[in-house]
């Protein structure tokens, strides 16, 4: 299905994990892509892999730290210079921080999580939305988490920033739907990406696989999700077909957030 031909999508955190999976899904559907990440090496490997599989797509990469306002303006300007428009934004770059209780949490890490997960998502909307307003069209998918709709033990800054992403999504949906811009968020549960692998290492450094199996037991599906399963949902939310879904925080977690 080539439903993204002639569309330009910006993907942040595109070098691996969910960002890379979405990049592949959209490339398959014909999109032109701006791939943004601060990991230069992995970003260039990601681009090479996608270009090998989809040689006809126009793909640019921008090395940028999304927590730096000037860098965000930079990747938006670069996208306009290269493609002339921005149809979609997959606002995905984020970090988990550490596992520690509120009183034990290291403040520098706390602030870093805020700068990347909250400010990075905000700066992207701030600089992308004016172009979408001019076009009278746009699709934004912000990446929250199930930690954006409920608490997660020992991850206060992560949960705080992901709730903020949910809140900003609802506001953007209210403010810009009149301009043809739909804004939604996804709230993934545990999806097998490098970030989640790292989290299981922190939970059980001796045996991360045991931590993973233990976690999966609580999920109704008895397994973790796959990046490709998230990418298909994101592709819908970024498409023309997503014309009357706006301001939603969509859990992609096998149903786990319904249990308590």
As annotated, the active-site residues are 158
The answer to whether 92 contacts ligand NAD (rule: CB under 6 A) is: yes
Stretch that binds ligand NAD, among 60-68, 122-130, 172-180, 206-214 (CB under 6 A): 60-68
Dist CA 29 CA 25 (whole Å): 7
Of the candidate spans 90-98, 101-109, 210-218, 236-244, the one that interacts with ligand NAD by CB under 6 A turns out to be: 90-98
The residues, any chain, with a CB within 8 Å of residue 206's CB and separated by 6 or more, are none
User: Sheet containing 8-12: which strands, arranged edge to edge?
Assistant: 59-63, 32-37, 8-12, 88-91, 138-143, 181-188, 249-252
161: its two tokens = 């920033």
The b-or-e profile of 146-165 (16+ CB within 10 A means b, else e) is bbbbeeeebbbbbbbbbbbb
In the bound state with ligand NAD, the residue whose beta carbon lies nearer, of 138 and 189, is 189
Please, which residue, 13 or 157, has the CB nearer to ligand NAD? 13
Backbone phi and psi for residue 162, each to the nearest 5 degrees, phi listed first: -75, -30
Of the pair 67, 182, the CB lying nearest ligand NAD is at 67
Q: Which of residues 116-135 bind ligand NAD (CB under 6 A)?
A: 116, 120
Nearer to ligand NAD, 37 or 87 (CB): 37
**Distances from the Cα of 260 to the Cα of 157, 200, 257, angstroms:** 22, 21, 8
How far lies 186's CA from each of 64, 133, 208, in Å? Answer: 23, 23, 26
Which of 8, 9, 11, 13 forms a contact with ligand NAD (CB under 6 A)?
Answer: 13
Q: State which residue, 121 or 173, has the beta carbon closest to ligand NAD.
A: 121
Q: What is the bridge-based pairing of β-strands 138-143 and 8-12?
A: unpaired
Cα–Cα distances (Å) from 29 to 17, 111, 125, 169, 222, in that order, read 19, 37, 24, 25, 31
Among 27, 66, 114, 185, contact with ligand NAD (rule: CB under 6 A): 66
CB of 36 to ligand NAD, least distance (A): 6
- Say whether residue 25 binds ligand NAD (CB under 6 A): no
Smallest gap from residue 25 Cβ to ligand NAD (A): 13
Question: Residue holding tokens 């992308």?
Answer: 128
Minimum distance from CB of 60 to ligand NAD (Å)? 15
Judged by CB under 6 A, the number of residues near ligand NAD is 28
Binding site for ligand NAD (CB under 6 A): 13, 15-19, 37-39, 42, 65-67, 92-95, 116, 120, 143, 145, 188, 190-191, 193-196
């Amino acid at each position: 299905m080539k439903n993204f031909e002639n569309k330009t999508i910006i993907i942040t955190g595109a070098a691996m994990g969910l960002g890379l999976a979405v990049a592949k899904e959209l490339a398959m559907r014909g999109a032109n892509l701006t791939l943004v990440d601060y990991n230069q090496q992995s970003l260039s490997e990601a681009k090479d892999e996608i270009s090998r599989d989809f040689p006809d797509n126009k793909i640019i990469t921008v090395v940028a730290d999304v927590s730096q306002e000037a860098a965000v303006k930079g990747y938006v300007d670069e996208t306009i210079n290269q493609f002339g428009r921005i149809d979609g934004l997959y606002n995905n770059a984020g970090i988990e921080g550490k596992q520690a209780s509120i009183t034990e949490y290291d403040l520098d890490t706390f602030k870093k999580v805020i700068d990347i997960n909250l400010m990075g998502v905000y700066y992207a909307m701030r600089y992308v939305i004016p172009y979408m307003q001019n076009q009278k069209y746009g699709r934004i998918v912000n990446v929250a988490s199930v930690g954006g709709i409920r608490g997660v033990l020992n991850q206060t800054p992560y949960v705080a920033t992901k709730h903020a992403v949910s809140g900003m999504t609802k506001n953007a949906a209210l403010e810009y739907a009149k301009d043809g811009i739909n804004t939604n968020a996804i709230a993934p549960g545990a999806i097998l990406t490098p970030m989640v692998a790292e989290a299981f290492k922190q939970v059980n450094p001796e045996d991360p696989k045991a931590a993973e199996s233990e976690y999966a037991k609580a999920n109704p599906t008895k397994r973790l999700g796959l990046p490709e399963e998230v990418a298909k949902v994101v592709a819908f939310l970024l498409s023309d077909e997503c014309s009357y879904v706006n301001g939603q925080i969509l859990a992609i977690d096998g149903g786990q957030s319904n249990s308590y």
